[in-house]
Structure formats: structure tokens, C-alpha cells
Amino acid sequence: MNRASWVIVAITFLIIAALGVLYLWPVAKSSWNIYQETNQTKKDLEDISKRKEVLTELTKNDKLSYLYNIASTYIPEESKSGELVIELTAMANQSNLKVEQVSLEQIEKTQKSNEETTDKKTETAGSSQKTSTTNVQETSSQEVDFSMKVSGTFADFLNFLKATETSSRLISITAMNLNQSNDQFIAQLNGKAYWKKGTDLEKNLTNIEISKETIAKFQNLKSYGTPIDLPTESGFGRPDPFAEF
Amino acid sequence: MVNINLLPPQIKLKIKRNKQVANIFSICLVIVIGVGVLGVIFSSVKATLLEPKLNSLKEQIKEAGINLGTFGELENQALFLNDRAKLASSIEEKRPVWSYIIQDLINSVPQDVQFVSLTADIDKTPNFVLQGNTTSEREIIKFKEKLENSQFFKDVAFKSSSTTASTTSTEKKEESKLSFELEFNLENLSVPSQENKEVK
């Protein structure tokens, strides 16, 4: 090849390189990006369609609201310690046990990056409530610890234990001390109930489908006692609150 | 007929070079045009196929998103239910089923054994401390063996026994009672499966 040929080849190479860098490459790159984005968008659209299908199906499930209410009682969004006391005493009374004592201690376990434990004491109107705040990683539920002393018969106590296992509030008994004294059966129990603010689950297709197991889990729970509904309660106001009632 | 090129060799060489240059130029021109055409094809595919398709899909997603908004409350309820079901299952796995545990314990008690006190704590070892009265050491060991065979208990340990004199109220007669203490641990928190029961 002569010099002129080499010059033509070099110029061609430069033109192709310039075309490639300034025109072909950006066009190809953006086309590839659009192609990938299209695929992702298609997938998102499929997900949305499936979600819509699932949600449309859920609208036909008339039990959903009912189950939601049961689930919010089983593990509520707030400690609802008052309702817990009502439920515990109602369970004991229904099992013919006499409630000698009930006390609560609230333990909060919240998800934080560092593990730390702080103890706080809150004085409220003559009674002291100890609030122990334990921040533990990967724990999002919070606990209300309770202790309870009941008396009655052993058979009734067994019925009470069965009631705690199917009660509308999730209760776990962690320790018990059973004694027979002066012809009376006495049980001292320690346990905890749970609560959790909000949900941890991500809004995706898997997490909005309601399985039969989930429905079954909440269906056979039994509620004890009537929660306080302040507007319907009556009999407030006493001229002398120190007088015997 | 024979063609004889009578041109001088220098001119012949020049013509040959020119032809070669022309050929190379043509090839290079074709390549440049090819690259240009490829660019134009890419651009038109992008402009006429890819972009409109993506825009249409985005529009569909937007519409679907607006429609999904009407299910917001329902979606939150479903999410809440699944969250609580998951949390409840994890707690229930670790929760002792006391009615079964105590029932199994009382099913293991021999006729001549009376409980005085029973302390149970799932966070302490031993999980159970049982104090009771009986008539002989044989009854205590019988009870211990029965508990060992139970599906709920393990590590049953005989801690102590001592004889105490007591008066029965009905006959006003002095009888000797054997006080004892057993310690044991919980093997299963929940009701064991049928398979485990058969193995036991």
C-alpha cells in the first residue's frame, strides 16, 4: 500500500472512531438502558396486576375486617395494659379462681442499631411503675410483664391455663409457683403479653396474600371480659371520694 | 488480436497505485456509510419502538398505581394481618403449652404422692422444683421414672427425702410421712408431634 492508501485508512479509522464515540455509543447505550428499563417496567406492571388481582380477591373476603380486629387485639399496636388486666381477671373469674393480686411491668424492646439498656422509674399518683427499656437489635415487639396471684382449686387453675392459651390477647406464662395451704390452692404466676407498633413487612405481593393458616390462626381465639368503653360507662363523680363505697 | 501496452512503466505504476487508492477509498467509504446506517437504525429503533413502548408501560403503571390507591386500606390490613401472624407464630413457638405440661405432670403422679409446692420457671434451670409428701422412697423413684418417660420432661433428679411425723385429723394417730424434693427440666415447650410421641 502506498502512502495515500494509509492516509485514507487512517482518516476512515478516525471518522469511525468519532462516529462511534460521539453518535453510535450514546445511541446504543441509551437504547440498551431503555430496553432494560422496559423489562423492569413490564415486571413492575405484572406485579401491580397481580397485586390488584390479590386485592380484588381480598375485597370479596368479608372476614378480613373481622380478622384485622382480632389480630389487633391479639398483638395490639399499643400496650393496652388496662385491657390486659381486664382479660386476665375475667379469665380467672370465669375459671372460678379468685384474683388475689395483679401487677404490671412494661418492658419495651425496640429495634435500634446499638444495644443499650436504660432503666427509668416513673412515679404516678402514689404508685410506682418501673419501666425498663431494653433496646435489642432485631426485636420489634414489645412486652408487658405481669404477675398474678390466684386462689381456688387445682382443677379450676388448669381451666385457667387452657384459657390463657386461646385468649384473644397473646399471653405467655413464663413462671409459676403452685402451693396448697390451709385447704386452699394458691398460684403465683409471672407472664407477659405482647404489643407492637405498626408492621415490619414490606408492601409486596407475598406480604399481602392471606393464607388459610393466617386465617385459621386468628379464628379460634376467645375474648374474656368487656373492655372499657368510656362514653358508655356511667357512675362517675363522688362528693367524698374518701368515704366508703 | 493482441493488445500491447506501450505506456511507459512509470505511468503504468501510477495507474496501478491510483486504482489501489480508489479501491481502498471505496472500501473505507462503505465502512463509514455502514457505521452511519447502523447509527441511524439504532436511533430510529430507539425513537420509534423502545421509547414509545416504555412510555406506554409507564403510563399503564401510573394508571394501575392510581387504581391500587383505592385498595390502600385493604392492603394495610392484609399487611398487618400477615405481620401479626408471623410475629405470633414466632412467639408461640417459644411459649410453653402449660395446660399440656401440667396435665402430663399430673398423669405421672403415683396414687401415694401429694404435692406440697411446685415451682416452674422456663428461664431458670432446673425448670421445675417439686416438693411433696409420700409413703416410701419406692413411690418417689416410681414418680421419677415416670417423669423421665414423659414427653415433656427430662433431667429428673431426686434431691432429698426426709421422714416427718404427722397426726391425721380423723384418727388422731401418728403416722410418718416422707417429704421429698425433685428437680427436673422441660424437654418440649409445645405439644410434641405424633412421631415423637411414638418414639418416646
Residue A84: inside a domain: yes
Residues of chain A contacting residue B39, judged by C-beta atoms under 8 Å apart: 19, 23-24, 27
Residues A44 and A119 in one domain: no
Q: What is the pLDDT of residue A93?
A: 94
CA–CA gap between residue B170 and residue B45 (Å, rounded): 106
Under an 8 A CB cutoff, do A31 and B85 touch? Answer: no
pLDDT, mean over chain A = 82
Is residue A152 assigned to a domain?
yes
Query: Cβ–Cβ of B80/A199 closer than 8 Å?
Result: yes
CATH of B98-199, picked from 3.30.465.10, 3.40.50.450, 3.30.479.30, 3.30.1360.100, is 3.30.1360.100
The sign of the dihedral angle between the CA atoms of A135, A87, A187, B139 is negative
Q: Give residue A230's pLDDT.
A: 74
Q: How far apart are the first and last CA of chain A?
A: 120
Q: Do A38 and B57 touch (CB under 8 A)?
A: yes
Chain B's closest residue to A16, CA to CA, is B32
DSSP-assigned letter for residue B116: E
Q: What is the pLDDT of residues B43-81, one digit of tens each?
A: 998 899 889 999 999 999 888 888 877 888 888 888 999
Express each pLDDT in A91-112 by its tens digit. 999 999 999 999 998 665 544 4
Residue A236 lies in a domain: no
Please tell me what DSSP assigns to residue B151.
S
pTM, two decimals, is: 0.71
**pLDDT given at position A113:** 36
In a domain, A55, yes or no: yes
Q: Sorting pLDDT into bands at 50, 70 and 90, what band is A146?
A: very high
**Interface membership of B116 toward A (CB under 8 Å):** yes
Euclidean distance between CA atoms B66 and B70, whole angstroms: 7
Q: Which amino acid is at B126?
A: P
Question: Which chain A residue has its CA at the smallest distance from B51's CA?
Answer: A34
Q: Is B65 on the interface with A (CB under 8 A)?
A: yes
**Are A175 and B120 contacting, i.e. CB atoms less than 8 angstroms apart?**
yes
Per-domain residue ranges of chain B: 8-70, 98-199
Q: How confident is the model at residue A114 (pLDDT cuts 50, 70, 90)?
A: very low
Q: Is A152 found in the same domain as A81? A: yes
The answer on A192 and A94 residing in a single domain is yes
Q: Which of B25, B50, B116 sits opposite A31 (nearest CB)?
A: B50
Residue of A nearest to B62 (CA): A45
Task: Give the span between the Cα atoms of B151 and B196, in whole angstroms.
Answer: 8
Does A52 share its domain with A125?
no
Please state which of the ranges A55-69, A80-94, A223-237, B145-159 shows the lowest mean pLDDT: A223-237
Query: The domain containing residue A112 runs over which residues?
Result: 77-198+210-225
User: B122 and A68: CB-CB below 8 Å?
Assistant: no
| Mean pLDDT within A157-186 | 92
Q: How many CB atoms lie within 10 A of CB B143?
A: 22
Neighbour tally for B156: CB within 10 Å: 21
Helix then strand count (H, E) for chain B reads 6, 4
Asked whether residue A238 is assigned to any structural domain, the reply reads no
At residue B166, does pLDDT exceed 80?
Answer: no
Q: Residue B66 contacts by C-beta under 8 Å, 6 or more apart in sequence?
A: none
Question: Is A205 a member of any domain?
Answer: no
CA angle A106, A176, A156 (to 5 degrees): 110
Evaluate whether residue A220 is within a structural domain.
yes
Phi, psi of B95, deg, nearest 5: -90, 125
Q: For residue B14, what pLDDT is reported?
A: 86
C-alpha cell at position A152 = 381456688
Whole-angstrom CA distances from B9 to A170, A181, B14, B158 are 108, 135, 9, 123
Sheet hosting strand A142-152, strand order edge to edge: A116-124, A127-135, A98-110, A142-152, A184-195, A171-181, B114-121, B128-134, B174-186, B153-167
A31, A20, A26: which is closest to B35 by C-alpha?
Answer: A20
Q: Is it the case that residue A90 has pLDDT exceeding 90?
A: yes
Chain A, nearest residue to B17 by Cα: A2
